[in-house]
């Protein structure tokens, strides 16, 4: 009797980390407490992806729309990001995980830009895993920036309009060498894409859980991976 083949593990998981504010509100705490607790979930999920063999993990950490939040909350989030890098850079090196960042990074505070650039450069040669933080990110903004890049090449005579195809667009995205996500996870039960990886998630499997992000841990990620393994991906074809 032949053994059952192992369930497939997604090569790339993208996560919309939702529910920090509600988690804090349920406890009568300020929203920043939820973000602090959510940072612990990030650490847990990065380790779980490493152990499961997931090559790429993209986290929707701060959207272009998040700049509309109260100034004190934004400042707290930037401090949390800096603290996260301080606490986890050694672990990135130990596990040979590359840090990458996508988004309109020029919008971030200069100190944060320098800190991200430093850690990204220090881990650039690692190949055991990739942690991609989407910061000041929006899917529409990414497509606009891609179109500007393509338009610039057309204007310079480097590219003919009738030569533009899907591969051209993909090549002008923020991280063109990163494969599209196989699995998109959203916490807190919300059923929205929220302007996240609009191009890249075209054929991703979705997994939505009612668990709020600060409560999301290794077992929750494994549940998402197990659900993914039971699905049959068709890409529009007939099975």
d(CA 168, CA 180): 15
Q: Are 194 and 63 in contact (CB under 8 A)?
A: yes
Tell me the per-residue pLDDT of 127-179, one tens digit each, with 9 for 90 and over.
999 999 999 999 999 999 999 999 999 999 999 999 999 999 999 999 999 99
The CATH class given to the 12-137+180-229 domain equals alpha beta
Please compute the mean of the pLDDT values over residues 196-218 and round it to a whole number: 98
User: d(Cα 191, Cα 142) in Å, to the nearest integer?
Assistant: 22
In this prediction, residues 94-116 reach a mean pLDDT of 96
CA separation (Å) from 69 to 7, 41, 64? Answer: 41, 22, 10
Taking alpha carbons only, the member of 185, 181, 196 closest to residue 221 is 185
Q: What mean pLDDT comes out for the span 7-33?
A: 95
Residue 146 Ramachandran class (φ > 0 left, ψ -120 to 50 alpha, else beta) = alpha
**pLDDT score recorded for residue 7:** 74
pLDDT of 219 > 50? The answer is yes
Tens digits of residue pLDDT in 58-78: 999 999 999 999 999 999 999
> Taking the domains of the chain in order of start, what are their residue ranges?
12-137+180-229
Tokens 């310079």 locate to 156
Count Cα atoms within 13 angstroms, Cβ side, for 186: 14
Q: Which residues are catalytic?
A: 18, 66
Residue 2 clears pLDDT 80, i.e. is over it: no
């Amino acid at each position: 009797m032949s053994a059952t083949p192992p369930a497939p593990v997604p090569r790339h998981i993208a996560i919309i980390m939702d529910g920090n504010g509600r988690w804090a509100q349920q406890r009568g705490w300020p929203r920043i407490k939820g973000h602090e607790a959510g940072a612990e979930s990030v650490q847990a999920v990065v380790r779980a992806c490493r152990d499961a063999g997931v090559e790429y993990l993209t986290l929707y950490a701060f959207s272009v729309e998040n700049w509309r939040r109260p100034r004190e909350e934004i400042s707290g989030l930037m401090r949390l990001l800096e603290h996260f890098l301080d606490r986890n850079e050694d672990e990135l090196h130990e596990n040979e995980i590359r840090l990458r960042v996508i988004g309109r990074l020029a919008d971030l505070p200069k100190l944060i830009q320098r800190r991200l650039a430093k850690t990204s450069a220090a881990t650039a040669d690692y190949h055991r895993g990739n942690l991609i933080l989407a910061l000041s990110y929006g899917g529409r903004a990414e497509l606009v920036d891609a179109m500007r890049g393509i338009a610039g090449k057309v204007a310079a005579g480097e590219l003919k309009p009738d030569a533009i195809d899907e591969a051209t667009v993909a090549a002008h995205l923020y991280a063109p060498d990163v494969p599209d996500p196989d699995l998109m996870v959203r916490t807190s039960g919300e059923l929205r894409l929220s302007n996240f990886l609009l191009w890249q998630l075209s054929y991703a499997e979705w997994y939505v859980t009612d668990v709020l992000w600060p409560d999301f841990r290794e077992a929750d990620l494994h549940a998402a991976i197990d659900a993914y393994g039971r699905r049959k991906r068709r890409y529009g074809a007939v099975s």
